[in-house]
């Protein structure tokens, strides 16, 4: 009797949910068409030797995965991606926070600076890449010219054409681009800080540094974690700026994971290893995202 | 119930809209609304522009061309994307490495019958309008890249590419230099230019980073390949052969001496041209189809001239190029006649004598002569062509996209920058070449 009741309840529930299922059908269709089918196709390609056109004929099994995992350039690109992420996390969030704090403290022409500092974020990555490519140019670029003007001509160099400087030059540009976003988010969050806490601390004689250390920074920690997650997921997809500035060169010195995949697929026409690398990259990205979510949750629980 | 009906209708509309968006649309129709034959054309040649296409459409009002330009650096990506979605354009530009891959995949139309028919103007056999050596050069690319075939006519050359050194005569005069006739004289000039504070030499862009070693190989390996009959295919020649290594070592020597610009690895055509026009770069190894910007923007103080790069081993200096720009027709085109008509027009006397942008190019056609006034400046290109062409696949670094890309994008930069040893570089090239041979079988 109880079983029949339960069954009837379930059926009733399903019946009531039909409109909801129908309404989410387009979303599921979009996911299937634009995510699952391409993914299945990509996985299939990763098992073949394939030039990007023609039939899939040459089945090689997991060889492409082995090839990628044995390729030094893959690890170099992997390392470069994490160097970019590490520098972005450290410098971009820190500088973004400092700028936000300065704006919070109040300066002359605050509105102007607020807008002006945000401008780099509004420019497209490709345009930024083109601009900075000119800035770094060893002969016509303003950076070397300025260095020479101020007597530091010995530091002038072909920034994007050397193994040792190509990646750092890209990282500097990348950080320059991401600071405004971090600054804006930090600024929005500092503004939510209860004023009475700061006033109470001030009345109790807390110095500016103490207020920053004991009130503002603890208040900002959840924001920093969120910015950290956004930075990691965004930087793992870094491509356009890197491609415009160096195409991963010279000789792969500034390759990141995405440019590694792109050049393998579309320049060398090695679609098999390229899709294998992109699937490995996807697994890594999912792993990192899960890890960050766990860390965030653990952080949240500790704060409670 | 009403709710359910509404939700079903909404969902159906959204899915319908979504699927409609995924359809191929009318873009691939071969006829326009007004009954014209529509063909799609993909080019990576800067010389082919909208004006040229308009001129063709004006002469052929029954054909409409859907023209798409992509720079040569992104051509491979664009073509692969189109081919993988069965959207290969009716007519497209291609180049040695891609050309053989495309033939092997059955993507190109055999145009031998058309070549034996009339040319665009209808006053000669189409095949006979090309400089014979140029067409042979193109056929040899197919033969070495695809093996024995019934036909080697899957495309036609667009312009006769030659490579020469462009220099500023005024700078030469200022430094007391003369046009070098031997390799030693060339190197002495480079040293003098460097001491005077200028960059001695560059190639037109980083996509041509392989030009110098290929020119050196044409000298160092010529006897072995052409006199002794050795070949890479049968293993008598390898990338570890002394002559091949010597070509690479010489390249490194030039880099180490500082004769090439610091941004050599990343400098594109515009950057190199600007460097030259600003007087910072003394000489640039450049093909005539890339001269337009320099010729049109050279300051009055500059006096341009060209000469053939002297042979490093004292042999007659042959030039790279020949049929390095190819136009081909898709094997799947629904309008082969219209597609071939466009290719005929592009490589016709009509086009080369009317299009302003082609004035610096060598047409590669027997019935077209260049403006004599330009011949003096561009004498180096004529001299380069007189010595003949270095076979495209002499040392097989352009035989497939994979080896070409690995050589240009990875191995040369890393070798010059000291990141990869000569031994590692040649071993890797040989490995890729061996894989290519296995795949070919």
If asked whether residues B432 and B348 sit together in one domain, one would say no
**Mean pLDDT, residues A30-37:** 90
The beta-carbon neighbor of B263 closest among A53, A161, A253 is: A161
Instruction: State whether B256 and B332 are in the same domain.
Output: no
Given this model, what pLDDT does residue A13 score? Answer: 80
B171 and B198 part of one domain: yes
C-alpha torsion sign, points B351, B354, B359, B365 = positive
Could you tell me if the ipTM is greater than 0.95? no
* Cβ atoms of residues A259 and A129 within 8 Å: no
Query: How confident is the model over A172-188, as a mean pLDDT?
Result: 93
Residue B313 sits in the same domain as residue B328: no
Going by C-alpha positions, the residue among B254, B256, B296 that lies closest to residue B273 is: B296
In a domain, B327, yes or no: yes
Flag whether B12 is in a domain.
no
pLDDT of residue B4: 57
Residue in chain A closest to B263 (alpha carbons) equals: A161
Residue B29 lies in a domain: no
Q: Do B87 and B198 fall into the same domain?
A: no
Give the DSSP H or E segment for B43. Answer: strand B37-43
Distance between A23 CA and the closest CA of chain B, angstroms = 6
Query: Do B186 and B309 reside in the same domain of the chain?
Result: yes
- Between these two residues, A139 and A88, which has the higher pLDDT value? A88
Size of the A and B interface in Cβ pairs below 8 Å: 131
Contact B426, B245 (CB under 8 A): yes
Structural domain containing residue B426: 164-318+400-440
- Between CA A253 and CA A247 the distance in angstroms is 10
CATH number of the domain where residue B53 is located: 3.40.190.10
Domain for residue B348, yes or no?
A: yes
Instruction: Report CB contact under 8 Å: A23, B406.
Output: no
Q: For A4-30, b where at least 16 C-beta lie within 10 A, e where not — what string?
A: eeeeeeeeeeeeeeebeebeebbeeee
In a domain, B362, yes or no: yes
A-chain residue closest to B13, CA distance: A26
Is B101 inside a domain boundary? yes
pLDDT tens digits for A293-303?
887 777 666 65
pLDDT (0 to 100) of residue B182: 93
* Homologous superfamily assigned to A63-303: MetI-like (1.10.3720.10)
pTM, to two decimals:
0.80
Q: Cα(B48)–Cα(B72) distance, rounded to whole angstroms?
A: 13
How many structural domains comprise chain B? 2
- Do B185 and B77 share a domain, yes or no? no
Q: For each of chain B's 441 residues, which pLDDT tens digit applies?
A: 565 555 555 555 555 554 454 444 434 556 777 788 999 999 998 889 999 999 999 999 999 999 999 887 778 888 888 887 888 999 999 987 788 888 988 899 999 999 999 999 999 999 999 988 888 888 888 887 788 888 899 999 998 888 899 999 999 999 999 999 999 999 999 999 999 999 999 999 888 999 999 999 999 999 999 889 888 988 899 999 999 999 999 999 999 999 999 888 888 888 899 889 988 899 999 988 888 889 888 998 899 999 999 999 988 888 887 788 899 999 999 999 999 999 999 999 999 989 988 888 888 888 787 777 777 778 888 788 788 888 777 889 988 888 888 999 899 999 999 999 999 999 999 999 998 888 777
d(CA B417, CA A158): 13
- The answer as to whether B343 is a domain residue is yes
Q: Are residues B217 and B143 in the same domain?
A: no
Distance CA B60, CA B350 (A): 13
Predicted local confidence at residue B425, as pLDDT:
95
CB contact under 8 A, B10 and A23: yes
CA B126, B127, B128, B134 torsion-angle sign: positive
B87, B202, B263, B397: best to mutate for the A interface, most A CBs within 10 A: B263
Q: Which residue does chain A place closest to B85, by CA atoms?
A: A53
Does B17 map to a domain? no
**Domain match, B136 and B222 both:** no
- Residue B265 and residue B195 share a domain: yes
Report the alpha-carbon distance of residue A210 to residue A187 in Å, rounded: 19
- Read off the DSSP letter of residue B208: G
Are residues B209 and B332 part of one domain?
A: no
Q: Decide if pLDDT at A2 tops 70.
A: no
Kindly state whether residues B358 and B412 are assigned to the same domain: no
Domain ranges of chain A: 2-45, 63-303
């Amino acid at each position: 009797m109880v079983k029949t009741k339960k069954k009837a309840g379930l059926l009733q529930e399903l019946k009531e949910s039909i409109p909801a299922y129908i309404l989410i059908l387009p979303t599921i269709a979009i996911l299937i068409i634009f995510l699952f089918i391409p993914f299945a196709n990509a996985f299939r390609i990763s098992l073949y030797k394939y030039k990007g056109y023609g039939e899939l004929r040459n089945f090689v099994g997991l060889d492409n995965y082995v090839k990628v995992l044995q390729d030094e350039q893959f690890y170099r690109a992997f390392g470069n991606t994490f160097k970019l992420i590490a520098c972005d996390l450290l410098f971009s969030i820190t500088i973004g926070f400092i700028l936000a704090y300065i704006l919070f403290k109040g300066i002359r022409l605050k509105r102007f600076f607020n807008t002006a500092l945000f401008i780099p974020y509004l420019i497209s990555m490709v345009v930024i890449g083109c601009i900075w490519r000119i800035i770094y140019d060893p002969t016509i670029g303003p950076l070397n010219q300025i260095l020479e003007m101020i007597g530091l001509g010995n530091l002038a160099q072909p920034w994007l054409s050397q193994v040792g400087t190509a990646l750092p030059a890209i990282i500097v540009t990348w950080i320059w681009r991401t600071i405004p976003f971090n600054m804006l988010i930090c600024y929005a969050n500092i503004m939510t800080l209860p004023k009475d806490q700061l006033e109470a601390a001030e009345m109790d004689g807390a110095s500016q540094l103490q207020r920053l250390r004991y009130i503002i920074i603890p208040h900002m920690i959840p924001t920093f974690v969120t910015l950290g997650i956004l930075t990691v997921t965004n930087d793992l997809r870094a491509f356009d700026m890197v491609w415009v500035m160096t195409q991963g060169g010279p000789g792969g010195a500034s390759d990141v994971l995405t440019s590694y995949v792109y050049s393998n697929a579309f320049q060398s026409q090695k679609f098999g290893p390229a899709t294998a690398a992109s699937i490995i990259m996807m697994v890594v990205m999912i792993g990192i995202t899960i890890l960050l979510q766990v860390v965030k949750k653990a952080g949240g629980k500790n704060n409670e | 119930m009403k709710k359910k009906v509404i939700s079903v209708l909404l969902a159906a509309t959204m899915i319908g809209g979504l699927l409609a968006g995924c359809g191929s649309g009318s873009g691939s129709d071969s006829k326009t609304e007004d009954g014209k034959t529509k063909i799609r054309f993909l080019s990576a040649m800067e010389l082919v522009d909208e004006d040229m296409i308009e001129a063709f459409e004006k002469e052929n009002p029954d054909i409409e061309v859907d023209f798409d330009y992509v720079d040569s650096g992104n051509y491979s990506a664009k073509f692969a994307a189109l081919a993988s979605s069965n959207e290969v354009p009716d007519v497209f530009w291609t180049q040695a490495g891609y050309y053989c891959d495309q033939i092997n995949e059955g993507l190109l139309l055999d145009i031998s019958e058309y070549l034996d028919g009339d040319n665009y103007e209808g006053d000669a056999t189409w095949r006979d309008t090309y400089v014979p050596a140029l067409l042979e050069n193109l056929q040899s690319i197919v033969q070495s890249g695809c093996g024995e075939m019934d036909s080697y006519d899957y495309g036609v050359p667009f312009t006769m590419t030659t490579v020469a050194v462009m220099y500023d005569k005024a700078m030469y005069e200022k430094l007391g230099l003369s046009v070098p006739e031997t390799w030693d004289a060339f190197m002495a000039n480079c040293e003098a230019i460097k001491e005077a504070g200028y960059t001695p030499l560059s190639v037109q862009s980083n996509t041509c980073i392989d030009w110098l070693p290929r020119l050196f190989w044409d000298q160092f390996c010529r006897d072995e390949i052409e006199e002794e009959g050795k070949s890479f295919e049968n293993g008598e020649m390898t990338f570890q052969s002394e002559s091949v290594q010597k070509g690479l070592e010489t390249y490194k020597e030039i880099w180490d001496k500082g004769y090439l610009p610091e941004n050599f690895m990343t400098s594109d055509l515009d950057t190199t041209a600007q460097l030259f026009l600003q007087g910072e770069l003394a000489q640039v190894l450049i093909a005539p189809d890339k001269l337009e910007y320099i010729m049109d923007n050279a300051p009055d103080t500059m006096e341009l001239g060209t000469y053939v790069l002297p042979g490093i081993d004292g042999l007659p200096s042959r030039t790279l190029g020949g049929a390095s720009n190819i136009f081909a027709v898709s094997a799947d085109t629904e309008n082969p006649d219209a597609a071939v008509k466009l290719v005929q027009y592009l490589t016709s006397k009509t086009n080369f004598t009317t299009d302003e942008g082609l004035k610096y190019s060598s047409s590669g056609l027997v019935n077209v002569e260049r403006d004599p006034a330009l011949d003096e400046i561009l004498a180096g290109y004529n001299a380069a062509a007189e010595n003949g062409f270095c076979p495209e696949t002499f040392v097989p670094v352009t035989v497939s996209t994979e080896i070409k890309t690995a050589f240009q994008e990875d191995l040369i930069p890393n070798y010059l920058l000291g990141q990869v040893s000569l031994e590692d570089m040649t071993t890797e090239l040989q490995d890729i070449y061996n894989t290519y041979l296995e795949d070919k079988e």
